[in-house]
Structure 1
Amino acid sequence: MQSKTHHQSTVEQKLIYGALVCTYPIYAVGGLYITGSALGWLVLGLVSLRAFVEGGNPFRQVPVLVWFWVVGMMVMLISLWVAHSNWYLGTTQTIKSSVGWAKGWALIGLFPVLGAIVNVKPESLIRAACIVGKHTAIFGIVTFVIYMARLPGHLFISPLQILGGAGDNFFMVSLYGVNPETGAGRWQFFAPWAPAAGFLSCIFVIFCLQEKDKLWRNWGVAGCVIMALLSQSRAGWAIFILIIPTFLFAKHMKNPWLLLSVGLFLPIVLVLGEPVYEWIMDTFQQVKEARPASTRVRAALENLAIQRWQAEAPIWGHGIVESGPKLVEFMPIGSHHTWFGLLFVKGLVGLLALAIPMLITIIYLFIFAQQNTQARAALCMLLVFTCYSFFENLEILAYLYWPALLWMGMALKNT
């Protein structure tokens, strides 16, 4: 039973809380991609309508740093249009790509704005994350039993795919998946693929650690641990292990330069350490099963992205993703890496459009992290974004980690 602390008073607050709490019911019908993509725009429309009817301008309270993110994401759209024009991709493709921007990069600027103008109580967002954690723990245990019983893991592809315009993975409803290299079970939970679940476990655990109710906190953290373990994401394990003490002990670091050093050191360790770990594990796997190493595929994708970016479209990029050759199993060039993907699709302009607001916000939150719990949590979330940007494309998963973007807007408003 929810306490009055978590009662939502406006339609916008109820939509945000309900969308997060109902993560698994929505996933059960394959609707998460549509929900996450449309939620921000729907709430923005309601806020604007309320302002029109009641008067006032809620956007005046949006912090300057949040506008940095908005401008950065608008630059992404401009880069998209210029690249489409340069490569003569046509009006139809330009419209299609613009819609894709609205469901991806735009959300990274939109949700921080909503965090600043919709008075969502931090306690309610934390409790909602713990509820998702509890559902995750139950889901993980039950589906592990199903896996041990050798029952089918994939259930169906939601017919809602016709509305979403994305790949099968975003609408696949599964109990568990299978690691193609080992044949063992690998869980993606409510994410489109298993490594993304590892990413989400790192984000959600930051919410759950702030819960004051011990029972809910334990449920939430347990669910995040189960998600991290069963996703078998090597990057997820490394970040998960490091992000918890970073969040818990940041307030005890009295020297701001020490805190800054830790924040800079964490991504470096993860960026350098994860490939080394992958190389060791992949070498062992090659000896054992003579299978191609995922690290080589990842490296080949990155090399292709860099070479073609430098040679063909250094400023504005290619405008759209392209499938790679057989060498990379026909995966999209620049995938598995936000920065290489940005260079290939949106060029140097797109890379700076993300890097500048991200760097400025991290530095700003470092200043307030010691005194402000919200800022400390937002900082840790941004560090997770930074670390995972070297292993995933951030814009593709924005429809899932939108609560963290919302929290960032709340934190920037309150510091």
Structure 2
Amino acid sequence: MTDLNPIERFIYKTLVLTWPLYGLGALYIVGPVIAWLLGGLAVLVMYLGPAVRSDMQATGRIPPVVWAWIVGMFGLLVALWIGHLDWVLGLKLTIKSTIGWAKGWALLALFPLVGAVLPIRRSVLARGQCVIGLWTLILAPAMLAAPYIGLPEKILTSPLKAVGGPGPEYFSVYFFTWDPGSWTPRWQFYAPWSPFAALLGVVMVLFALEERCIKWRSIGIAAGTLMILASKSRMGLVGLVACTVGPRMMPLLLRSWAWHIGAGIAASMAVLGTTVVLAATDAVAAFKGARADSTRVRETLQRIASERWQTEAYWFGHGTVQPGSHAVEYMPIGSHHTWFGLLFVKGMVGLLCLLVPFVWQTLLALKDATTSPRGYLPLGVMMTLTLLSFGENVEIEAYLLWPGLMVLGIHARECADGRRG
């Protein structure tokens, strides 16, 4: 990390300071700030061209898939405005929601733009993630021991919460939290809650696998795995296996012997199919039963969101989430699921605005992963985002997912450069 250009140095130092920034309750502010700063810089260096110093010049034109993210996220803003007009939510709430868009959905366009245009290397992001992992391993003993030696759950809530956000947990610093279902401790590290920490652990492992130095690679993998296990998240355990192994299996699609094995397995299903289906059904039931209350609340939220979207606001949604009842433990309708949340808040138009670039980016990564290891990391990131989207709202967590979003832009640039070459 000695030959960094100014942009890479800024990104690397921001990653290295993740834990100190978390201690200040500032991470929710830092993510959108660096998105808009670097996004503005990307536009500026493209405009100035050769006038910019050589190590900061734009790497080329904006790839088509990044344009799709930009158009899609702007489309979400338009859908938000129309939804607010339809439901007469007032100017004050419209301004507040627009600021929320700038801190959430906009990041899904800005970070891919930054990765595609600015001269940023994957290796810088990978090393930065491994340094976060080192911080995690150093702090882990105190955090893991906290519930057993009488330390409090919450350390502090930062006064920075005055700037506004989805909730105080985004500005709070925790040793651990108690699981209300089993009353056992769970750890969320530098995330606002434990399941999200697990997916951040998956992302850390994905980046660590790209690290060339075995020492840093080992640190990143160990820290990411610890985050997944200590969070006690089912989704994180699935992601650890699927998002790391899945992309590395893609080259088998081009191997004839793999197709022969697949054909043999398919033929054997005529005999073993019923047994396999029953085993899979039991496994799914056990997976859901591991946190039955959580599963029930999420399924109820999804059903209510779907029914109200279809009957009340098909095209542009309700404009904002709405309070839930006791049946969903007062969780907002439109939360805990990106796709049902989009349908409820922004309607079918909003869903398509995310779905098109999301599928496009996934297909780009899938195609590249079959022919080159270059596609492993972006495909793993897209698989992680897919998992996250079925249990969380991606937009309010983009402020911590930005290294992965930036890699999507870097990969789009690499693919575009390969075609031009």
TM-score by length of 1: 0.89
Deviation at residue 60 of structure 1 after TM alignment: 5.4
CA distance in 2, matches of 1:166, 1:400: 14
What's the RMSD between the two structures over aligned residues?
2.4
Aligned to 1:89: 89
Residue 371 of structure 2 aligns to a residue whose secondary structure is coil
Deviation at residue 376 of structure 1 after TM alignment: 2.0
Counterpart among 17, 42, 64 of residue 22 in structure 1? 17
Deviation at residue 239 of structure 1 after TM alignment: 1.5
Aligned to 1:246: 246
Percent identity between matched residues is 38
Alignment of 1:70-81 (within 5 A): 70-81=70-81
Change (3 A) 1:246 1:18: same
Deviation at residue 141 of structure 1 after TM alignment: 2.6
Larger Rg: 2
Deviation sequence 1:159-207 (CA, Å, 0-9, x none): 1111243311100101111111111110111111111101111112110
Aligned to 2:396: 396
Residue 159 of structure 2 aligns to a residue whose secondary structure is coil
Deviation sequence 1:43-75 (CA, Å, 0-9, x none): 123344455566489495210111011111011
CA distance in 2, matches of 1:275, 1:75: 36
Deviation sequence 1:178-237 (CA, Å, 0-9, x none): 111111110111111111101111112110111111111110000000000011111111
Deviation sequence 1:350-395 (CA, Å, 0-9, x none): 1111111111221122221133333221011101111221111110
Aligned to 2:167: 167
Deviation at residue 241 of structure 1 after TM alignment: 2.1
Deviation sequence 1:335-362 (CA, Å, 0-9, x none): 1111110000000011111111111221
Aligned to 1:290: none
Matched, 1:277 2:296: no
Matched, 1:34 2:29: yes
CA distance in 2, matches of 1:392, 1:132: 23
CA distance in 2, matches of 1:346, 1:245: 35
Deviation sequence 1:117-168 (CA, Å, 0-9, x none): 1111211111101111121222223211223212112101001111243311
Q: Match of 1:384, as an amino acid?
A: T
Q: Match of 1:24, as an amino acid?
A: W
Contact 1:206 1:247 in 2 (8 A): no
Aligned to 2:351: 351
Aligned to 1:266: none
CA distance in 1, matches of 2:88, 2:41: 37
CA distance in 1, matches of 2:210, 2:353: 31
Change (3 A) 1:8 1:277: farther
CA distance in 2, matches of 1:312, 1:345: 11
CA distance in 2, matches of 1:275, 1:88: 43
Contact 2:59 2:118 in 1 (8 A): no
Change (3 A) 1:82 1:244: same
Residue 390 of structure 2 aligns to a residue whose secondary structure is coil
Deviation sequence 1:25-53 (CA, Å, 0-9, x none): 10010000000111110112334445556
CA distance in 2, matches of 1:334, 1:170: 19
CA distance in 2, matches of 1:145, 1:203: 25
Count the aligned residue pairs. Answer: 391
TM-score by length of 2: 0.87
Residue 370 of structure 2 aligns to a residue whose secondary structure is coil
Deviation sequence 1:100-119 (CA, Å, 0-9, x none): 00100110011000001111
CA distance in 2, matches of 1:329, 1:229: 26
Residue 206 of structure 1 aligns to a residue whose secondary structure is helix
Aligned to 1:188: 188
Change (3 A) 1:334 1:373: same
Q: Match of 1:8, as an amino acid?
A: L
Contact 1:134 1:222 in 2 (8 A): no
CA distance in 2, matches of 1:325, 1:194: 24
Aligned to 1:141: 141
Deviation at residue 282 of structure 1 after TM alignment: 4.2
Deviation at residue 277 of structure 1 after TM alignment: 3.5
Matched, 1:9 2:10: no
CA distance in 2, matches of 1:228, 1:238: 10
Contact 2:130 2:220 in 1 (8 A): yes
Residue 105 of structure 1 aligns to a residue whose secondary structure is coil
> Which segment drifts farther, 194-203 or 273-282?
273-282
CA distance in 1, matches of 2:404, 2:281: 25
Aligned to 1:287: none
